[in-house]
């Protein structure tokens, strides 16, 4: 079987890619390969209590299909419904091949073609599929295994240990003492939800995270919807939120001390007499790591109740009835939730090679954050670290369709970004200190010190670079 384009992954970015390929590249025969039996990616995989977006849905949703739900910070099931609705509205499901995992991809310079090795859930026999262009929309983490630090004496704990990525939906935690290890968005999301049934929930963090409360409903957005036509309202609300997000990020990077004080004061206002600065004063500046957004201050409301607590300390070891901390205290628990993060994984874990030579991803440079140096007819869709994931993915998809159309119009068979090390320095891809990024730096691609090899994490700059700029670039070699 041969396709013009193969998209790998049917999550948010994969559905976006399918939409733009169908709309903008009508002569291209494409397929979306999805390893799971359902579309939705993360939002189909994650089942832990309270799962929700950590960005507003007016920017996290698609630019071409408005988010209609009044909740701007939405729960996981609502997001999954929205993704499915989008796929059905634009008749994209017929392009998706479910239970189809791409395990390897090799580019043949002689044939100007990708040879893909796929496996179907119904068969253990690998099959070969060919594609002129390969578009990776498989996310950035390992779906099979979440990150779990090497804790001492884990086996001595007599209760249940569960990672949020592999949540057991049959788990009954009613009236249980639950200990959550972690301080990121997942931990902050879990705590208020678990307190609804549990006897007591304690969040154990090694170090604090910046947390900010925000309304789950955007009142201004709802007002705009009432007085402006739907499509115009969607654009206005989307741009309002983009500019607010960009403005806050720039403010935080320019005046980190003032923004840090503002965020901590916001927590103090929420907790009043129960505020303890050691739990809410990170050692880093705002946006060195991702900010945790809590809708309707639910996290703080839970902490103000008698059913939730927060402890900042390191772990010495696990014991039969809980965890012993480095200061000697023991936190007792019936259930321990290890909200300790993700394992970064490139290309869905598939083996990527060029003319049978394995690609060293650590040596590759990211061209506009979409393509990789010296890798022909290949693109990936990865979102922002400082804004909604979908904003960047949306632009990446539009850029890929421009490249494909340029190739078709000019009779080209391949497009390869070529990096020139004499013209600029090489830098780490992400200026971001999150644990999952630091653990992956040894295999992540790099970036250049200047455009178009610089990944700016800035929607306005990317809008110009990806949507409105020419793809006839000297760094893009067409053949």
**Tens digit of each residue's pLDDT (9 = 90 or more) over 302-335:** 999 989 999 999 999 999 999 999 999 999 999 9
Whether residues 191 and 329 share a domain: the answer is yes
Whether residues 352 and 407 share a domain: the answer is yes
Residue 276 C-alpha from the chain's centroid: 31
Average pLDDT over residues 270-292: 92
- Residue ending a domain, among 338, 358, 385, is 338
In a domain, 12, yes or no: yes
Cα separations (Å) of 46 from 72, 154, 189? 20, 24, 13
Whether residues 270 and 293 share a domain: the answer is yes
CATH number at residue 451: 3.50.50.60
User: Residues of the chain with pLDDT > 70: what percent?
Assistant: 100
Whether residues 276 and 424 share a domain: the answer is no
Whether residues 318 and 383 share a domain: the answer is no
Whether residues 327 and 178 share a domain: the answer is yes
Q: Is pLDDT at 432 greater than 70 in this prediction?
A: no
Whether residues 305 and 402 share a domain: the answer is no
Average pLDDT over residues 394-417: 97
Q: Is pLDDT at 386 greater than 90 in this prediction?
A: no
β-bridge pairing 351-354 and 357-358: antiparallel
Q: Per-residue b/e over 127-143, b at no fewer than 16 CB within 10 Å?
A: eebebbbbbbbbbbbbb
Average pLDDT over residues 30-50: 95
Range with the poorest average pLDDT among 9-13, 26-30, 442-446: 442-446
Closest alpha carbon to 378 in 115, 114, 141, 139: 114
Give the per-residue pLDDT at 435. 73
The pLDDT tens digits for 257-268 are 999 999 999 999
- Residue ending a domain, among 295, 318, 338, is 338
Q: Is pLDDT at 122 greater than 90 in this prediction?
A: no
Closest alpha carbon to 261 in 245, 277, 239, 238: 277
Whether residues 301 and 401 share a domain: the answer is no
CB-CB contact of 386 with 378 (8 Å): no
Whether residues 136 and 168 share a domain: the answer is no
Give the per-residue pLDDT at 441. 81
Whether residues 327 and 203 share a domain: the answer is yes
Q: Is pLDDT at 436 greater than 90 in this prediction?
A: no
The pLDDT tens digits for 169-222 are 999 999 999 999 999 899 999 999 999 999 999 999 999 999 999 999 999 999
How far apart are the C-alpha atoms of 66 and 352, rounded to whole Å? 36
Give the per-residue pLDDT at 433. 67
Q: Is pLDDT at 54 greater than 80 in this prediction?
A: yes
Please, which pLDDT band fits residue 446 given cuts at 50, 70 and 90?
A: very high
CB-CB contact of 212 with 266 (8 Å): yes
Whether residues 333 and 202 share a domain: the answer is yes
In a domain, 290, yes or no: yes
Give the per-residue pLDDT at 123. 80
Give the per-residue pLDDT at 73. 92
Please, which pLDDT band fits residue 290 given cuts at 50, 70 and 90?
A: confident
Please, which pLDDT band fits residue 117 given cuts at 50, 70 and 90?
A: very high
- Residue ending a domain, among 338, 357, 380, is 338
In a domain, 149, yes or no: no
Tally the domains of the chain.
Answer: 2
Whether residues 398 and 298 share a domain: the answer is no
How far apart are the C-alpha atoms of 442 and 438, rounded to whole Å? 8
The dihedral of CA 29, 32, 38, 42: what is its sign? negative
Q: Is pLDDT at 410 greater than 70 in this prediction?
A: yes
Note if the pTM is more than 0.85: yes
In a domain, 18, yes or no: yes
Average pLDDT over residues 347-376: 95
Residue 408 belongs to domain spanning: 2-144+344-478
């Amino acid at each position: 079987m041969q396709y013009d384009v193969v998209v790998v992954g049917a999550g948010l970015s994969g559905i976006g890619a399918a939409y733009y390929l169908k709309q903008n590249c009508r002569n291209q025969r494409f397929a979306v390969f999805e390893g799971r039996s359902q579309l939705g990616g993360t939002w189909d995989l994650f089942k832990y209590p309270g799962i929700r977006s950590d960005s507003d849905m007016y920017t996290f949703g698609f630019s071409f299909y408005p988010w209609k739900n009044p909740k701007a910070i939405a729960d996981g099931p609502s997001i999954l419904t929205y993704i499915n609705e989008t796929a059905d509205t634009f008749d994209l499901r017929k392009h998706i091949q479910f239970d189809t995992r791409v395990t390897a991809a090799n580019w043949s310079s002689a044939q100007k073609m990708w040879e893909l090795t796929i496996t179907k859930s119904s068969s253990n026999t690998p099959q070969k599929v060919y594609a002129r262009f390969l578009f990776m929309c498989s996310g950035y983490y390992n779906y099979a295994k979440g990150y779990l630090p090497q804790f001492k004496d884990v086996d001595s704990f007599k209760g249940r240990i569960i990672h949020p990525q592999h949540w057991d939906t049959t788990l009954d935690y009613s009236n249980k003492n639950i200990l959550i290890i972690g301080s990121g968005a997942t931990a902050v999301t879990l705590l208020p939800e678990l307190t609804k049934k549990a006897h007591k929930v304690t969040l154990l963090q090694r170090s604090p995270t910046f947390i900010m409360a925000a309304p789950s409903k955007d009142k201004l957005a709802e007002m705009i919807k009432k007085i402006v036509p739907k499509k115009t309202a969607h654009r206005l609300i989307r741009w309002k939120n983009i500019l607010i997000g960009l403005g806050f990020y720039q403010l935080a990077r320019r005046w980190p001390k003032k923004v840090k004080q503002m965020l901590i004061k916001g927590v103090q206002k929420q907790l009043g007499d129960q505020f303890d600065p050691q739990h809410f004063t990170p050692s880093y500046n705002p946006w060195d790591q991702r900010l945790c957004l809590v809708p309707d201050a639910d996290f703080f409301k839970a902490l103000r109740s008698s059913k939730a607590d927060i402890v900042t300390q390191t772990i010495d070891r696990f014991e039969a009835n809980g965890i012993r901390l480095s200061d000697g205290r023991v936190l007792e628990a019936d259930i321990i939730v290890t909200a300790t993060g993700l394992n970064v994984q490139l290309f869905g874990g598939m083996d990527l090679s060029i003319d049978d030579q394995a690609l060293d991803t650590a040596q590759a440079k990211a061209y506009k954050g979409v393509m990789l140096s010296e890798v022909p007819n290949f693109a990936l869709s990865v979102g922002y670290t400082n804004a909604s994931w979908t904003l960047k993915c949306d632009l990446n998809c539009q850029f890929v369709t421009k490249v494909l159309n340029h190739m078709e119009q000019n009779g080209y068979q391949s497009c390869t970004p070529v990096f020139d090390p004499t013209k600029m320095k090489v830098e780490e891809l992400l200026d971001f200190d999150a644990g999952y990024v630091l653990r992956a730096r040894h295999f992540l691609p790099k970036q250049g010190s200047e455009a178009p090899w610089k990944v700016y994490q800035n929607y306005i700059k990317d809008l110009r670079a990806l949507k409105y700029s020419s793809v006839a670039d000297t760094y893009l070699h067409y053949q």
